Structures are given as C-alpha cells and as structure tokens.
Structure 1
Amino acid sequence: MASPTDLRTEDALPVLRRVFGYDAFRGFQQEVIDHVVGGGDALVLMPTGGGKSLCYQIPALVRDGVAVVVSPLIALMQDQVDALTAVGVRAGFLNSTQTLDARRRVEAAFVAGELDLLYLAPEALGVRSTLALLDRGRISLFAIDEAHCVSQWGHDFRPDYLALSMLHERWPQVPRIALTATATSATRTEIATRLKLDDARHFVASFDRPNIQYRIVPKREPRKQLLALLRDEHPGDAGIVYCLSRASVDKTAEFLVANGIAALPYHAGLDAATRAANQQRFLREDGLVMVATIAFGMGIDKPDVRFVAHLDLPKSVEGYYQETGRAGRDGLPSTAWLAYGLQDVVQQRKMIETSDGDVAHRRNLAAHLDAMLALCETVRCRRVQLLEYFGETTTPACGNCDTCLTPPESWDGTVAAQKLLSTVFRLDRERNQRFGAGHCIDILLGRQTDKIRQYGHDALTVFGIGAELSEAEWRGVVRQLLAEGLLAVEGDYGTLALTEASADVLGRRRTVTMRREPERPASSRSSKPRGSATVVAELAPAAVPVFERLRAWRATTAKEQGVPAYVIFHDATLRQIASDAPGTLAELSRVSGVGENKLAKYGEQILAVLAGE
C-alpha cells in the first residue's frame, strides 16, 4: 500500500504536468508541497524566480477547499489572477480596486467553493466582514506571500502583517505557508515568531542566482554610465533602474527618453492612476525601462527583466538582493549593476543619524549599511560575499561578477588614511572647524582655492602632503574610511569627523587595506551584450526567425487579451518550441510550460506560426 506521502506525490505531479506543463519539480518544491498538502505549516525561503508560487498553488489544487493567499500587492493581483486563469485555475481577488458587483461575484464564488485560490491584502484581514466571509467558506490553506514584510527591521515592513498571527488563532486546523525571497537567519526567526510559526518546518534554498552578473562601478557621471550600459549591453531590453529620490527618478527617466530609450517613471509622488498605468505598460510591453524608487517592484512577475540598475546605494544587502532578484526570473543571462560613490556613503550616514527611532533602531540601520558597504568595497567574489551574508559559506568564486572577471587590487592605504585623518583632526582640534570631503582633499592636494585662502588652511602642516594620489583616489580613500567606520559624517552639511577607531590608525596601531579600482577595458567579457541578444544567439540559426515569429504572435495575442506577454508563454517556452519545431499537438504538449489549458487554447495557432501561415 502506498504511503500518504506517495499518494500526495501522485496527486501533485499530474497537476504540475496537466496545469502548468512541467514534468518535474525543482529543488525542494516537492518536499514543501507534500508537507503542506499533509497539513503541516511551512516557512519557505527561495530566491526570486525559484518557483515559490507553485509551493502553495499546487497544494491549493490538491487539497479540498479554497487557498487564501495574503499578498501586499494590490496593484498586481489582477495580473496574478490572469496568469492562473490562463492555465485553467479558478482564481479571484478581493481588494479596494473592485466594483461592488465584482466583489459580490467573487465572494459568492468563494462561499460556493467555486474558487481554487483567493487573493487578499493583509489589511483586509483586519476587517470584520472579511473574517465573517472566510468563516462561511472552506479554507484549504493560508499562504502568506512576501513574508519578510512582517520583519519590523526589514526593508519592506508592513504593519498589517503583524496581525497575521490571528490566522492560527482563528483557524488552528488550517495549514499555513509563509514565503519570501529574502531573509537572514535572524529575519527567519522573527518571521516565525511574529506569525506564530514556531513549529513550522523551514525550507531554505540557496540564494544563488547564477544567471545574474553582479557589477558595482565607481560613480562618475551615473546617468551617462547607465546610458552606456543600456546601449552597449542591453539594447531594447526591459529593465528597472532604481533611484533614491523622486526628483532623481524623474530626471533619469527624462534623460533616457531624450537619448532614445523608452523609459517610464514610478514613485509615490505620482498620482495613483499614472503609477498604475506605467506599471501596466511595463508589464505588458516589450523593451520598456522603469525608473523607480524602491516603491516599485515587489511581486513583479515579469520574467524577462534583463537588468536591474541602481544609481544610488541601497540601504541594506537584503534590499539590494530583493531588488536585483527582479532580473532574470526566467533563468537567462541578466545584469545587476550599481554605480556607487563617496556621496552615497555620506548621504546614507546622514539619513541614519537624522532618522526617527531610538538608538537601537539607528544602530540596526547602521549595521545594514555597513554590510552593504562591505559588499561594495570587497576585493573578493561579490557572489561569495553576498551568499555569506545569507549564511551560505561554502560557495566557490563564481567567475561571473566584476571582481572575478576583472580582479581589483588591494593596497596598503595606512599612510593615506593617516594623512586624511590628520587633516580632519587639525581642522577640528586646532581650528575648531569641520569641512566636507572636497575641502579636505583640496588641502591634501595643495590647491589654492578661495575657501582655503579665506580660512588660511594653506598654513596647515598637512597642506599639499597628498600629491601622490589623484582627487578620484582620495575620494576613494574617504569613501572606504567611512565604510569601515574610521571616519564619520556629521551635521546637515555632511562634514567629516573622527571616530573612536580613528585613534588606532593615527597611533599606528592599525593598518588599513584599501581597494583600488582596476581599469576595465571596453572589450572585457562583462561589457558584451547579455540581454535579448544573448537569448537569440543561443538558438540555432534556423530557429531564430521562428522564435521571432512566435514572439510577434505572442505580443499580438497578449494585446488582444489585455494581459502581459508572459501570461501567454515565457520566452523559455517559445525558445524550446522554436528549437524543437513540434509538428503535432501531441509533440507540442511535451514542451515545458505547455499545459492542457494552453495547449487547447493556443496549440493550433502555434502550429500555424511554425508552418509559416
């Protein structure tokens, strides 16, 4: 006789094949599904694009009742439901964007058991009428998506998530699965505690996304650097550009458009209708670049985002990983690119010092920033350092990040550090004055500026003692001293000040090793096209025009149906169709990603495209 686990697997595998068109589970998906189908609680950490959604969608189709999915992504619920409907799954959502009639239809379908999945925003569970509705239906499981939002120190904290512990109290027999792409071990513990998932089984996948090439470059003229990246490596590709401020978003989007790049802005200062329209265009059109604050992106299911670029320093490694993970969800080559400079460090340190909250809160923000700065300044493999942050300590160097492709040099910067710190010391202690990095560097370089003459700083003993380094190199020294806590930023004007640790360097009790940026030749591997050009280049020459015809058919079909192109088929599925050239529906059904519903709906059309009709 088969064991209960065997029976669950026999139920789950046919559903995977019939509904989603895949022949096998990936990683530990099957273990999670078996556990939840059997009634167990689970906390799942899996990188973006790793297949988290199937971990609750398959159990929703196997267990009796309706799966309730708690998601903070109101603006994307329609697309999530469209994607499920396209494969024949009965899905609905309830949120504030609906008309009263639409809401009543979904509620009636839920009570009648005519849904497989129901999506709700977390705040809806704080409304009595929603709880009363859920009491009237049969709930198969609760899925809490983007579970890191419950972490009070996290990068996407949502207060409404704190109330989700009531799910266990009100429906103790219903299994719960919490899912996120980003959490350290400390955050995992916090999620489990706050959601009362103390007895849940933890499933933690590797955080590695080998298809993403991580690159961090010195910030010079960031918008021009970004433009070069898009023109040289990602022409015509969809991507996301993150900026810290709304003004920077608007200016960057305008700059890209003026230079022939199709770009849209997204930030909280735009009205809701404009934000929604821009998001829908990004999801539904090919080759658009979204320039945004971090308000954009969580839950974006667009698989063919070929690059994520940051023009400002992220506040934490978690935020950086979450944002860069929106590239390459389809597993194809993609780029995570960050331009980083001295002013980023100054600005972030100032923001922490002036932030709301107690000392513990500011200390936590500083610790997150320190880890992000360490990633920027490392001379080691970026991927190794990134994965170590999340607790993976046995990863070899990747060969696919900038420090692997063009290794930086490390140099003994102790003397340079002493000169810079001595300058700050003499301004503060001898003159009772504090200045920013630019003025200190001018002193070291011996420049006779108006400000130096005004304050008589050409009489300081440190005046002109730093001629062995260029201005750019001195800015690197300041940046790295700030990163290591050997220098501080104070006041509204970002003036430099010594720290307790500075004394060890000035007293010759501590050496300082620094990173020197290598010259990166234009012909280096990292500057070759990595986006759609790579995707097409990997096809056999005869398959390329077939792939392009399939993409054109998909674009037309998606526009007619008013859904994103990936809801029809992912690029990976079209590539396999173009390569395999199936001649019958039976052969087409064996292509990964072609389930029963899509075969019935699009099969004849695809065969016609393949036949050149």
Structure 2
Amino acid sequence: MSDTPRQVLQSIFGYPDFRGHQEDIINHSLSGRDALVLMPTGGGKSLCYQIPALCMEGTTVVISPLIALMQNQVDALQALEIPSAALNSNCPPEEQAQIFSALKEGRIKLLYIAPERLSAPGFIDFLTTLNISLFAIDEAHCVSHWGHDFRPEYLKLEQLKERFPRVPRLALTATADERTEKDIIQRLGLQYGAVFRSSFDRPNIAYYVSSKSNPMTQLVGFIKSKHSGEAGIVYCMSRKRVETITAKLCELGFDALPYHAGLTSTERSRNQSHFLKEEGVIMVATIAFGMGIDKPNVRFVAHLDLPKNMEAYYQETGRAGRDGLPANVWMIYGQQDIVRTRMLLSENPSYEQRIQDLQKFDALLGYCEELTCRRQILLSYFNEHSEPCGNCDNCLTPPDIQDVTTDVQLALSGIYRTGQRFGAGHIINVLIGNESDKVVECGHDQLPLFSKGKHRSRSEWQLIIRSLLARNLIHQDLEGYGALSLKEECRPYLKGEVKFSIRIEDKKSGKARVSPKILENGDDQKLFDELKRVRLELAREADVPPYIIFFDRTLLEMVHKKPDTVSALSNISGIGATKQEKYGPQFLEAIGNFIAKQTVD
C-alpha cells in the first residue's frame, strides 16, 4: 500500500492520532529492523504490527499463544474488510486449504498462527515461498524461563532469524521484569534491535487489597455495590473453587460462567464466546482464562486467591478497563493462601527456578501488605517511578498504622515457647488466655506468656500472624496440623531490634470505592444504553462481540457529540471509512429518534 501509517490509522481504524511510542515502533518496523516492545495491556500493541502490515507488500505473520486472541483480532480486522486469517487446530481441513490457497495468491495481509504451527512438517518451508513482510511475536515473555508463563514451543522461534534473515521481527509483551526482558532479547536474537518501553501505569484502574474473611460474601458485596450488571472476571486457584463460586453467583441471579482446564474444549469455547458476545457476563476462572482476551469493557477483575507473582497479577488485572474507562481490581487473601502458594512453588525441582519463584511471590506479598500507595509499589517492581496515585485503597482511605513490635515479639515467643509444633489457632488461644482442652493438656496455660495477649482480639492476632508469614519471618507446615516455626530472619524482630508496623483495623474488606460514573446526566445514560442495544443487535446479526462494532468510548463520544450526518461520524474516534458506511446509518437513526422523543416529552 502507498498510504502512510497516519493515513491508515485515520482512514481505516478511525483514530485521530497515535498514542505513546506507536508511531516510532511502526516506522522502525517499516525500516526493516527488529524491536522489543514493552507496552501495558490496552496500550495499543496490535496497531504496532497491523498498520505496518497494511503499509507493506506481502503478508505479516502474527505468532500468538491462544486461539481466542487470534479469532478476536481476525474478527476485528475482517469487520474493517482487511484480508486476514487464523490457522489453528479449530480450522476444519476445508478452511485450512482455502487459507493456504489465499496465502499462495498473496490475498492475506495478516496471518495468525500458534507457535506450534512452525513445528508442523513443511510449514516453515511453505512460508519461505511467500512474501513475508513482518513477524510479530505476541506475548513474547513466553519465551523466557524467568517469565511467568514460559512455553517451551516459543524457544523454536529463534529459527526465524536464520530462515528469514531479511524479515523484521517485532516481539511484544505487557509483562516483563528486567531479567525476563534480557532473556527475550537473547533467545530471539534481538540484540541489534531497539527496545521500546512504555509506562506500565494504568491510571484508570483503581487497586484494592483486603483480608479474606468470608470470600463469597465479600465478593457478592463488591459486585452488587460497585459493578451490578457489568462484565468482570473472578480468578480462583482451583477448578473446584471455580465451579463452587460460579454456582453460587448463578443462584444469586448473576450471569456467571466457569472456565478452567478441566472443562472440555467445546465448553471452554462456548463459555468464552458468551462472555465476549454478551453484556454483563461474569467469568469465574483459573489462570487458564484470559491471555489475549480483547474484551475492552471488563469493568472489574477480582482475585479470591493470590497469584504467584507480580507479573501474573499485573497481566490478570490488566484485563480490566482496556478501553481506558474507570475500572476496579480487587483482591482478598489470607494466611492459608500464603502457605499453600509457598509450598507449591517450593516443589519446583530446579533450585534456581525455585528461589526465583519464591522471591517473586515475596514481592507480591510485599505489595499486599503495603501500607502506602499500591501503584508506587506495583510500578517500582517494573523499575518505574510514580507519585502517590490517589486511586488505590491506601491513598483513598489511608490505613490506621500501628506499631505492633511488642505484639510481634509476643507472637514469636508464643511459637517458640510451645515447641514450634502447633498451628495458629493454638498459639492464639495461649496468647489470649483461652483454656482450651489442648492448651490445658499441653500445660501451656502455665507458660509465663499465657493470656499476655488478651488486649487483642482473635482476628487481630490472626492478622499479625498472617503478616509474619507474608514477610517470611515464620514458616507453616501444611502437612499435619499446620505447625508454625521460626525462621532465622525473625531474630531481630524477636529481640525488638527492628520495628514492625501493621494495619490492624482491616475494615475495608469488599468496600472498593465506586468508580467515577461514566455519565452523570440521566438522559445521556439513556442514550448510551440505547446505542449499546443497537450495537448488541448488530453484533448478534454478525455473530461477533459487540466491541467489534464499536468500543464503549466511541459510543460515549456519540452521546456527547450527537452527530446527525454520516460525515459528522468521521470526527468520532474509532469510526473509520468502512464502519462509517457499514454501521453509521443505524446509529444516526437511533440518535435522531432519541432526540426527537426527548423533544416531544
């Protein structure tokens, strides 16, 4: 094509200008050079390879790990009448034959494949017969052993440099710490390419972390008060927990669906399709769900169990508010979460990997226990500085911070004096002076520290013990009775040489602040709802997700500007020439009818 990147952006995609490093990345690829792109979820990574694909002769090959991502992007491109296709295991033989034929004839601009496809007999040789303009490697952190989602098949991508030495490669990821970034560059042979780093900050997302007490009650309270009727994702650690939470949400009238590896591929595909194509659906899932999901109007992400590291947390929470509109991410955690995850990570046979995993988990726990701005801690993990954000629980409602150094000494002494053979419940009974059968039987009611902690409630002692576990000062053995024992790191705290502060009154559980209303005016809200209804009807007719028609941001701009002609639609972000012609009349009619009705009323 002879159009410039800016012309393609405006005429086809309908956006007035580039964001961040997009234009620099595109021009870099057009010059035939490699690059690594680190850009947050929702930052516009896909345009960084889609626009070069339309500006160059030949076919751009996009390597993506999930079928869902491929199909989402192919649907969106085809809605813009851009020749594109996905080769994956879901394609029947007839469709695959048609795609291969179209590739030979040069009729496909973007081809999406899984990394496994490159290992298929003869496929690389077939690609060498085509005019390949660019390789885009999405979710590039999967190539690194240090990344949070390593996939062995990604290691085979290094052959692209040898087989296609003149074709530029663009590696993209939303989550990579410094070690993972270096590993991506080395394994893919990008040493002579450029690195484009965008800010990891997602200012539209509000972050909340609370203690776990009654998970189901907390979750329902959060959803009902803040996100009634809105789409969201709830992450759980186990398949059984996913099924249980889904069933309870459905009993309460929510449109909720499960997603985990124990379901058949047909069930997973059906549930995912419903989530993408309908409004207000809640997906309850393990981490098996989400990578590459493009649904832009997910208004909340909730974690009922701890992720394994900050990268996973960042990527999973990044699925909220991809459209840039306000969204909440909310997480609750407790003592057992910490112990179970540490035990799971400790089972890795590789010593180096095990240490790395535990260090990353400790960084996540530090974020959870943080008493100051959460966004500062999150961004600092990715080597980025931030001022206090004003949009997290600690900024919005500063916690009541108390020095509990003396109580920590008492708790550590309780663990030691009882022989480091008992669980938290027993230790707390001793501290608060509860003469339980076991306490009396063991003679622990005769210890000097018996009842020395009665000034605190059981829940406060549970919080202190959880904090000791989170800061890796004590160990809990999950086998047997969950015995607590001291770690060497606790010594300066036991001696009172280091202060220990904590949030004692954890009253914010489930009380995330209401996200700012997208529309304050009641009539504007009614028009927005009407435009969403029109969009849903068109999406169902085309059997595509509603956002393929228009993003919520585009509908909101229609509400504010109320265009009355087809040409006026061209001034609204997200409406290119194709969509203007295809969908413009239906939305103009809806706006006109609404205004006419308001005038009569």
The TM-score range, normalised by the shorter chain, is over 0.9
* Secondary structure class of the residue paired with 2:589: helix
SS in 1 for 2:122: helix
* Structure 2 SS opposite 1:193: helix
Partners of 1:111 and 1:138 within 8 A in 2: no
Q: Which sits farther off after the overlay, 100-109 or 452-461?
A: 452-461
Whether 1:485 and 2:468 are equivalent positions in the alignment is no
Q: Could you give the per-residue CA deviations for residues 367-400 of structure 1, whole angstroms, max 9, x where no partner exists?
A: 011100110111110011111110012x111111
Q: Distance in 1 between matches of 2:525 and 2:391?
A: 26
State the AA in 1 paired with 2:589: A
The residue number in structure 1 matching 2:359 is 367
1:418 to 400, 406, 409: 409
* Alignment counterpart, residue 536 of structure 1, candidates 519, 523, 527: 519
Q: Equivalents in 2 of 1:298, 1:384: separation in Å? A: 25
Question: 1:541 Cα deviation (Å)?
Answer: 4.2
Correspondent of 2:458 among 456, 471, 475? 471
Aligned to 1:41: 34
Matched, 1:345 2:332: no
C-alpha offsets along residues 138-178 of structure 1, whole Å, 9 cap, x if unaligned?
Answer: 10000000111112132211111111111111101100001
Instruction: Write the letter of the residue equivalent to 2:388.
Output: A
**CA-CA distance at 1:129 after TM superposition:** 2.2
TM-score (norm 2): 0.96
The match for 2:89 is: 96
User: Which of 478, 496, 501 is matched with 1:513 structurally?
Assistant: 501
CA distance in 2 between counterparts of 1:579 and 1:296 reads 35
Q: CA separation in 2, counterparts of 1:441 and 1:472?
A: 10
1:151-166 matches, cutoff 5 A:
151-166=144-159
| Alignment TM-score, normalising by the size of structure 1 | 0.94
State whether structure 2 residue 274 is matched by structure 1 residue 281: yes
Residue 76 (structure 1) shift = 3.6
Alignment partner of 1:442 out of 429, 450, 455: 429
Secondary structure at the counterpart of residue 488 of structure 2? coil
CA distance in 2 between counterparts of 1:280 and 1:25 reads 30
Aligned residue identity for 2:313? Y
Within the candidate set 536, 539, 564, 2:545 is matched to: 564
Is this contact kept in 2: 1:42–1:202, CA < 8 A?
yes
1:79 & 1:505 partners in 2: Cα distance? 52
- Whole-Å separation in 2 of the counterparts to 1:95 and 1:26: 31
Alpha-carbon distance between aligned partners in 1 of 2:415 and 2:396, rounded to the nearest angstrom: 37
Paired letter, 1:535: I
* C-alpha separation in 1, matches of 2:514 and 2:348: 44
Mapping 1:16-415, distance limit 5 Å: 16-353=9-346, 355-393=347-385, 395-415=386-406
> The residue matched to 1:527 in structure 2 has which SS?
coil
Which stretch shows the higher mean deviation, 63-72 or 437-446? 437-446
Structure 1, unmatched stretches of 5+, are: 1-6
1:578-589 pair list within 5 angstroms: 578-589=559-570
CA distance in 2 between counterparts of 1:464 and 1:359 reads 42
Distance across 1 between alignment mates of 2:191 and 2:401: 45
Is 1:498–2:483 an aligned residue pair? no
Contact 1:350 1:489 (C-alpha < 8 Å) held by counterparts: no
Shift of 1:597: 1.0
Please name the residue that 1:4 is paired with. Answer: none
Give per-residue Cα distances to partners, 1:566-588, cap 9 Å, x unaligned: 00111110111122111111111
SS in 1 for 2:567: helix
User: Which runs of structure 2 are paired with 1:2-13 in the superposition (5 Å)?
Assistant: 11-13=4-6
Superposed CA deviations along residues 506-540 of structure 1, whole A, max 9, x for unmatched, are 23333323233454499x8x43355xxx2233xx4
Count of residue pairs brought into register by the alignment: 593
Shift of 1:487: 0.9
C-alpha RMSD of matched pairs (Å): 1.7
Is contact 1:71-1:119 (8 Å) kept?
A: yes
Deviates more, 1:161-170 or 1:407-416: 407-416
Change in CA separation of 1:76 and 1:29 when aligned onto 2, cut-off 3 Å:
closer
1:3 corresponds in structure 2 to none
> 1: CA distance between counterparts of 2:143 and 2:582?
40
Residues in 2 aligned to 1:44 and 1:352: alpha-carbon distance in whole angstroms? 29
Whether the aligned pair in 2 keeps the contact of 1:304 and 1:329 (CA below 8 Å) is yes
Bigger mean CA deviation after superposition, 234-243 or 343-352: 343-352
- Render the CA deviation track for 1:423-465: whole Å, top value 9, x for unaligned: 111222xxxx512212211111111223223333222332211
Aligned to 2:587: 606
Tell me the SS of whatever aligns to 2:85.
strand
Contact 1:112 1:137 in 2 (8 A): no
1:68 and 1:528 mapped to 2: Cα distance?
42
Secondary structure, counterpart of 1:128 in structure 2: coil
Cα distance in 2 for partners of 1:505, 1:592 equals 57
